[in-house]
Amino acid sequence: MKAVLTVLGSGTSMGVPTIGCNCRVCTSTDPHDHRTRPSVLVEYDGRVILIDTTPDFRQQAIREKITRLDAILYTHAHADHILGLDDVRPISFKGEGRIPLYAQEKTAEALESIFHYIFDANYKYGGIARVEMKRFNGSLELFGARFEPVRIIHGDAEIHGFRFGSAAYLTDFSEIPPESKAQLRDLDILFLDALRHRPHPTHSTVANSLSLVEELKPRRAFFTHISHDLPHQETNQNLPDHVRLAHDGLKLEFEIA
C-alpha cells in the first residue's frame, strides 16, 4: 500500500528563525531555512496519522490543508512535541468519534497533567478537544498498517521513534541502542535527528547521523530537528546524494504495507 509522508516541521525546539537571533540562517530568504517544530503526517488509504502535536501545529495544519486526523501518535512529552494538542480542536469537532492519542505511559501522564481539562470527565464548559488517550506499549495496527515503536536514548530519557512500513522517523536521540538498530534494516526512508555540527547532550549531530546512515544503509535519509547552525543549501552540498536535510512541506512517497 502506497503512503505519503509530509514533513510538517523540521526545526529544533526553538524553531528557525529563533526569537531574537540575527544569524544568517535566521535571516535567510530561502524558505527551506524556515523551520517549524518537528512533526510529520502520514497518509494512506484515505487515513491521516499525525506524529506529535507541536506548538506550530495550527500553522502547519493550515499550510498543509489538514482536514481530518484519524490518530495522533506521540514520541515523548517535551514541549516542542506536545504543546499544540489544543489546536486539534476544530478537526476533532468535525469527526464523529474522538481522535485517539497513542502515547506510552510517561507521555500519557504528562499530557493528562498539562491538558488536564481535556481529560476531565466533569469539565462543564465544552469546547475542548474531542480526543481519547490510548496507552500503548508494543506495536500498533492502524488501518491496515503497523507502527512499531523504536526505542531511542534522548539524553537521560528513554523515548521512541516509529517504524511504519519502509519508513522510520527518529526525531530526538543522542543514541540508538543496538536492538533498535535491528528494527531499522531495509528502509526506503530514514529520518534522523541532526541538530547541528557541535555535540549536544540530548541530540545527534550531522556527523553522527551520517555514520548511522552508513551503518543502517537506508535507500534515502533525511535529517530533522535542525537548529539555526545549518544553512539548508550549503549543508546539503556537503552531504551524499541520498542524504538531505528535511524541510517543512517536503513530501515523500513510500510503501507502508
Name the site residues for Zn ion (rule: CB under 5 A): 13, 18, 21, 23, 26, 78, 80, 172, 228
**How far apart are CB 71 and Zn ion at their closest, in Å?**
20
Closer residue to Zn ion (CB): 21 or 62: 21
**How far apart are CB 23 and Zn ion at their closest, in Å?**
3
Closer residue to Zn ion (CB): 145 or 206: 206
- Please name the residues in contact with 193: beta carbons below 8 A apart, sequence gap of 6 or more: 170, 171, 172, 173, 203, 204, 209, 223, 224, 225
**How far apart are CB 21 and Zn ion at their closest, in Å?**
3
**How far apart are CB 230 and Zn ion at their closest, in Å?**
11
- CA–CA dist 218, 167 (Å, integer): 9
SS3 category, 107 = helix
Q: How long, in residues, is the chain?
A: 257
Yes or no: say if 170 and 137 are a contact pair by the CB < 8 Å rule: no
Yes or no: say if 191 and 224 are a contact pair by the CB < 8 Å rule: yes
Closer residue to Zn ion (CB): 154 or 163: 154
Closer residue to Zn ion (CB): 78 or 247: 78
Helices (H), 64-151: 79-82, 89-94, 105-114
**How far apart are CB 202 and Zn ion at their closest, in Å?**
7
- Please name the residues in contact with 105: beta carbons below 8 A apart, sequence gap of 6 or more: 135, 137
Closer residue to Zn ion (CB): 30 or 132: 30
